[in-house]
Structure 1
Amino acid sequence: MDKITKQNALNAHTWVGVFLSVLLFLVCLSGTVAVFHLEFERWEQPHIEEMKNVSPDVVEKAMDTFLAQNTQESHHLYVVFPTSDIPRLVVENDHAAYFADSEGNLLEQESVSFTEMLVNLHLYLNLPQSWGMILVSALGAIICTLVVTGIIAHKRIAKDAFKLRRGGNGQQAQIDLHNRFGLWAAPFHLVIGITGAYFGMAGIILVVVASLNYEGDRDAVIQKIFTPDPVLAPQEGKPAIGRAFAQMETLAPEKSPIFLTVHEVGEPEQFIEIYAKAPNRMIYAEGYRFDTAGNFIGVAGYEFGEWGKQLVWAMYRLHFGDFAGLTSKWLYFVLGVMLTMLCVSGMEIWLSKKAHPPLASRLWYSTVWGSVSALALTAVADMFFTGSLIAVFWCLMLLNTGITVGVKSLTKPIWLLISGLSVMVLLIAYAAVHQSATLSVASLQLNIPMVVYVVWSVYRANTLIKRAKNAETQIETDASNSAPQSAQEKRVNA
């Protein structure tokens, strides 16, 4: 490939990354953390009873109790089974959700405000959903562009694949690390970018496909992807969800039921659908359909449908790494950290080449490490505050920006230290609120990584502070050593 093409690719890579750095960073950071969104839901209410399985009678009892207490009109009823990725029993409608114990007694209302804010930040950047989804999807396409232009711009991919130079002022090591992360994880980053772009562009794709192949009939396209509702004789009566659930052991003993939905509650077209995770398949779930009396009708056909249908139904698991339990989630988390660090290192390389403009550098560090602090303190606020967490998070981000502009001493290590201390405050508040439940599995699976982050951030900040002091001392020493020599040279010359 000629030098002009490589240079053009490098210019595009640089300026796209610089102008969209903040948005890309926030989407990547929130997405990396949101890989564990189901674990965060458990973490928010760690004292709830957890179980491995549940009987049909318990499911029926829990729903009956829920309906007796929640009489508002609803088009859907849901049961989340403990065989899903959350080992808890949840019954809900379109308005409220309650946990139930292993005997079918209702416990307390589900409250996952922080998790919802975090996922909303990743999916919509906390903007109105229609606009936010389009923007975030466009950023997914931008990620793909950055991956491709980065590879094209790389001058010696094969030769430098494992090069990591150390020493000097650290700029070369940062460039090498940026290039290695971008190269090694490129397939993952492309998957994330493509699937992320799909979620927002699905509506546009639907219109285009309908116009080209179905004379503008969008419903015809939807029915190709999402199996139409079954055509049944008019249904009436209470849905027999216990009877339907009991049949899953015979119909699909190898599958894990995730959740149950009663569609069109109280209407003549009412029917029950149980979604079950198919082993060794990337699709989200196969749907098993039953009439109101609990008689089996058939499957939705996602597991062995056309490849396009299977691909669409695999998008969720591909994007969030939810296909091999915690193993795939931790893999996605590590690769997500690499993608997030690409945003950070790319911007820092650009700042370094511009001789680190003081205000621009401080604002970037407040965005990177200040956002971690803002997320931690938002989680703290959620324990004592019932208002909008989106407002809390962005107020904290604005506060970080204002303080950064006014206080010149807020350098990178200081912001890194602030982020670690904020997470420590979160852990202390969490222990105070949840007490003995802090030692439950639901708590520890996230609290332990948070403790690791606190230790690392404090250690890393201390290292950077010492390094900066040593550099200043070295500069002063060099200056003092050169001054007498200059004077002596002047005397010799005289």
Structure 2
Amino acid sequence: MTATPAGKPATKKPAKKKDLMSRIPAGFVRAVLRGHSSLGLAFAALIYLVCLSGSIAVFAHEFQRWESATAPQVTAVTPDAVQTAFEGAIARSGPGVEHVYITLPSADFPRLLLYVDADKDRQFLADAGGQIAPGGEAAWTEFITRLHINLHLPRTWGGFLVGLIGVALLSSLISGILAHPRIFRDAFHLRLGGSKRLQEADFHNRLGVWALPFHILISLTGAFLGLTTIIVGVLGMAMFNGDVNKVYALFIPAPPVDDPRPAPVLDLRPMFAKLPDHGGRIEYVFTEHPTEMGGAALFNVKHPNRLAGTDSYAFRRDATIYNEKPAAANNLGEDILASSGTLHFGWFGGGIVKIVYFALGLGLTYLAASGVNIWLARRRDKGRPAPGWERAWAATVWGQPAGFAAAAIASLALASTPAAIAAWLAVSLAFLLAAIRLPAAALSRVGRLATGALILAAAATHLALRGGIGAADSMAWIVNAALVAGGLFLLLWRRGSATAAARPEPATAPA
């Protein structure tokens, strides 16, 4: 104790107990922060592209209904109708059909859809009687989903690259938490109205914490789905002397013995009759070699209220079951594997879950964009500006949504996925070329206005070419209304004020 001027003993206040994160050594924090910045910068553009396309791909069924608004709506089908559609799609595809993938109607996708050798882009819609109907083109939905899954590269290499992006995103999330020891304690601390950089840094850090479980789930499942080929290859080498088919056979039924002799089109009707009735809904039918003696069919039966609740039944040509896998018999690992895709895309729980996934996905996209913005602003504040990188990043951030909207217009007008890819690449390149002359602020403003105008043009193109006011599917109107609202928002949005942007930043404020 010490004496006060009045002679009274002074009580020494106990030191505040530090939390665990505050005990991390400063040198370690600086090293992790450098690693976090380097990793984010190295993968920034790809992370941004995959996150933005994935946020939109959550609504793949809704956009597919939007594109096929003039096609017949089908809520239920009979086995006879499925067989008629099956035979009709094969007849229109010519000889040499290897696979036909049939999607049966559901509440969120009231269509009878058939993919014939999907890698050749042959898709058909049928009415309730099984007759092939026009209006089944969904080129833009194919464009956006394939961009997210494999970046329109060869599937093996593209999927592997997307898996690596998932690993990089997960690593950035973890390093971001470790690099900011106060991030949880300051979870609701926002410095608004002052420095633009500090404000964006706070939003970046707070959003990273608030939605951290979602961010980890998306990056982890994305990495797993993208790296499946590598994982299977490693397991094949470790367990089966390099035979990856034996690894796949642990999870999916192997096809029957190959017999290439010509045969009539596979008859699915007796297979429908032999499916056990466990209260599920037939979701998919996947057929192999349907015009050969070795033909087979795999039926997936979805059970409600279970993420991994899908039974599978594999039939030979003579309608005998050679493999049966009920979901109730799954172990924990099989349930995790079966639910990873559903969890990644938010395809469970209906429209509310999709909207939540879309909003959180846009938040993850913002994390990727704002991280680079913060790094660029920090360089500028330290007297080492990088105007070239600022322009290039502004072109990337706005060139992608503008390119997606241009791809939608091309898809609606030409019903062609290659046309959508060409439009997207052309707009992306145009923004990068504009970055040679336009400053970043002007490029961002032009990009926002161009994106808003192109989104409105996509809605107008749909009204003109895909049903207009007579569209049979109400989902077309919902999507068009959302597009109009989004386009007008971008055209009318004014970010902040010139006064706020011009306020000086405290020299000692941490980033």
Pair in the same fold by TM > 0.5: yes
Percent identity of paired positions between Structure 1 and Structure 2: 28
SS of aligned partner of 2:442: coil
Using the alignment, how far apart are the partners of 2:129 and 2:226 within structure 1? 41
Partner in structure 1 of residue 294 of structure 2: 269
Deviations 1:407-447 (A, max 9, x none): 34724333222211221121122222222245842312322
Distance 2:91 2:373 in 1: 58
User: How is 1:299-318 mapped onto 2 (pairs within 5 angstroms)?
Assistant: 299-318=324-343
* Distance of 1:232 and 1:380 partners within structure 2: 44
CA 273–225 in structure 1, closer or farther in 2 if over 3 Å, else same: closer
Q: CA deviation at 1:285?
A: 3.0
The letter of the residue matching 1:329 is K
CA RMSD of aligned residues (A): 2.8
Whether the 8 Å contact between 1:234 and 1:269 is mirrored in structure 2 is yes
2:5 alignment counterpart = none
User: Which one has a larger percent helix, Structure 1 or Structure 2?
Assistant: 1
Cα distance, 1:360 vs structure 2: 2.7
In the alignment, the residues of structure 1 paired with residue 172 and residue 57 of structure 2 have an alpha-carbon distance, to the nearest angstrom, of 22
Shifted more, 145-154 versus 100-109: the winner is: 100-109
1:373 aligns with 2:406: no
Q: Name the CA distance, whole Å, in 2 between partners of 1:463 and 1:36.
A: 27
Separation in 1, partners of 2:287, 2:435: 52
**Per the alignment, do residues 77 and 212 of structure 1 end up closer, same or farther by CA in structure 2, a change over 3 Å counting?**
closer
1 CA distance for matches of 2:452 and 2:419?
24
- Specify the alignment match of 1:160 in structure 2: 186
1:284/1:317 contact within 8 Å kept: no
User: Which residue of 220, 223, 226 maps to 2:249?
Assistant: 223
- Partner-residue secondary structure (3-state), 1:380: helix
The answer to whether the aligner puts 1:105 opposite 2:135 as a matched pair is no
- 1:60/1:241 contact within 8 Å kept: yes
Return the letter of the residue paired with 1:377: A
Larger CA deviation: 173-182 vs 235-244? 235-244
1:146, distance to aligned residue in structure 2 (A): 0.5
Does 53-62 or 338-347 show the bigger shift? 53-62
Aligned residue type for 2:290: V
* 1:428 maps to 2:460: yes
Matching residue of 1:479 = none
CA gap of 1:62–1:411, structure 2 versus 1, over 3 A, is: closer
The structure-2 alpha-carbon separation of the partners of 1:119 and 1:137, relative to structure 1 and needing over 3 Å to count, comes to same
Q: CA deviation at 1:333?
A: 1.0
Go from structure 1 to structure 2 and tell me whether the alpha carbon gap of 1:83 and 1:232 turns closer, same or farther (over 3 Å shift): farther
* Higher mean C-alpha deviation, range 288-297 or range 399-408: 288-297
| 1:243/1:362 CA distance change after superposition, 3 Å | same
* 8 A Cα contact 1:278 1:303, kept in partner: no
SS in 1 for 2:192: coil
Q: Does 1:447 align with 2:474?
A: no
Given the alignment, which residue of 224, 229, 234 partners 1:198?
224
Which residue matches 1:42? 65
Q: Is the 2:90–2:97 contact (alpha carbons within 8 Å) kept by the matching residues of 1?
A: no
Preserved contact between residue 9 and residue 153 of structure 1 (Cα < 8 Å):
yes
Name the residue aligned to 1:481: none
Structure 1: runs of 5+ lacking an equivalent: 476-494
AA paired with 2:62? E
Instruction: Say yes or no: does 1:123 pair with 2:156.
Output: no
Structure 1 residue 232: Cα displacement: 11
Partner of 1:353: 378
CA contact (8 A) 2:195 2:501 kept: no
Q: Give me the TM-score of the superposition, normalised by structure 2.
A: 0.84
Aligned counterparts of 1:463 and 1:181: Cα–Cα separation in 2: 18
Query: Which of 395, 420, 427 lines up with 2:426 in the alignment?
Result: 395
Stretches of structure 2 that go unaligned for 5 or more consecutive residues are 1-23, 505-511
> How is 1:10-29 mapped onto 2 (pairs within 5 angstroms)?
10-29=33-52
